[in-house]
Structure 1
Amino acid sequence: MLQVNRLEKNSRRSRAVMHGNTVYLGGQVGTDLDGDIKTQTRQALEQVDRLLTAAGSERKKVLSVTIWLKTMDDYEDMNAVWDEWIDGDEPPARCCGKVDMTDPRIRFEITVVAAI
């Protein structure tokens, strides 16, 4: 039976869950909720990097991402940061949509599934 490991958990959520050779990251947002879309995107991706490293993975092993934006007006600026961050030779499956965020200051949220 495969073991399940959880990182940075509390009674409501885990920041990451590892099962077999896969890691599932919960939604990551920027820490500067007053920051613009580029700042929030960079900060959230830094969180992704940190969690991937803690799980024994890395960017080029990202399999799938879901990106949520507060407004599609941020799409191009978010993609400018995304394109610098992602491994263009090994891009993941990706979707992006607009949602109401739990905090109206949040402009960007990302979930990630990656191989370990």
Structure 2
Amino acid sequence: MSIERIGLTHRWCDAAIFNGIVFLAGHIAEKTEGRSLTEQTEEVLALLEETLESAGSAKDLILSVQIFLTDISKIAEMNAVYDKWVAPGHAPTRATVGAQLASPGHAIEITAVAAKRSAA
């Protein structure tokens, strides 16, 4: 059994791949100063897509998504961005919760599990 890790640091990795399944770490916006939930959501989803690509996956292969919002009352604002991003016909299972995030200024954190693209 082999586990592949992408973006490995001492404390975490951006993704771990085992048995054709890609487990993504929680992704947060790198730029938060003065940025709205909409802007942070757009950035986080773009970062998720980059990590999926580097892991040999894609957003249409996402199986499950967990979304953490510091202000759950803004779920409609986040959904407006998410609904445009999710691959049509490939919506994953999803949970969205209100949460206090570890880093001040971050309005959203998203983690996911996806299938790895099959080798052709």
SS at match of 1:100: coil
CA contact (8 A) 1:28 1:48 kept: yes
TM-score normalised by L of structure 1: 0.96
What count of residue pairs does the alignment treat as equivalent? 115
TM-score, structure 2 length as denominator? 0.93
Q: How does 1:46-65 map to 2 (within 5 A)?
A: 46-65=46-65
Judging by fraction of residues, say which structure has more strand: 1
- Over 3 Å off, 4+ runs: none
RMSD: 0.8
Sequence identity of aligned pairs in percent?
29
Q: Could you tell me which amino acid in structure 1 is paired with residue 43 of structure 2?
A: Q
Name the CA distance, whole Å, in 2 between partners of 1:81 and 1:3.
36
Report how far residue 74 of structure 1 moved. Answer: 1.6
Long gaps (5+) in structure 1: none
| Separation in structure 1 between the aligned mates of residue 96 and residue 75 of structure 2, nearest angstrom | 9
Partner residue, 1:19: 18
Say which is worse superposed, 30-39 or 16-25, in terms of deviation.
Answer: 30-39
Structure 2: tracts of 5 or more residues without a match: none
| Aligned partner letter, 1:78 | M
Summarize deviations over 1:26-58 as a string: whole Å, max 9, x none: 000112212100110010111100010001100
Match of residue 108 from structure 1: 108
